[in-house]
Amino acid sequence: MAQKEGINTPLVITIGIISSILLVVIAFTVEGWFQYQEHEELAAKWQTMSDQTAAQPAPASQSPQQSAAPFPAPLPSGTFTR
């Protein structure tokens, strides 16, 4: 009669646990690397922006409509006629 080979359950469980731990470590490593690169890119953009701003001379005077405000100038108060 041939001997039947069984599954080595402790080995399968050990390999599963080690694989899971490795997968979690790789996920945290990739996330940390991504955040580091994102931070470096953002810092480089801010540095470039500040270098460009510092290199431009400041104008003597600007009207409110010529400013680089992110919002449009407010509408004048009063009534309009056609």
Residue 74 covered by a domain: no
Which residues, in sequence order, are CB contacts of 69 under 8 Å at separation 6+? none
Residue 30 covered by a domain: yes
Residue 81 covered by a domain: no
Residue 56 covered by a domain: no
What percent of the chain clears pLDDT 70, i.e. is strictly above it?
61
Residue 67 covered by a domain: no
Answer yes or no: are the C-beta atoms of 49 and 56 closer than 8 Å.
Answer: no
Residue 25 covered by a domain: yes
User: Which residue range(s) make up the domain with 31?
Assistant: 10-45
Q: Which of 13-17, 28-32, 62-66 has the lowest mean pLDDT?
A: 62-66
CA distances from 79 to 50, 75, 82 (A): 43, 11, 10
Residue 58 covered by a domain: no
Looking at the structure of the chain, the number of domains it has is 1
Q: Which amino acid is at 38?
A: E
What is the per-residue pLDDT across 34-63, written as a single tens digit (0 to 9) for each? 999 999 999 999 888 877 776 666 666 655
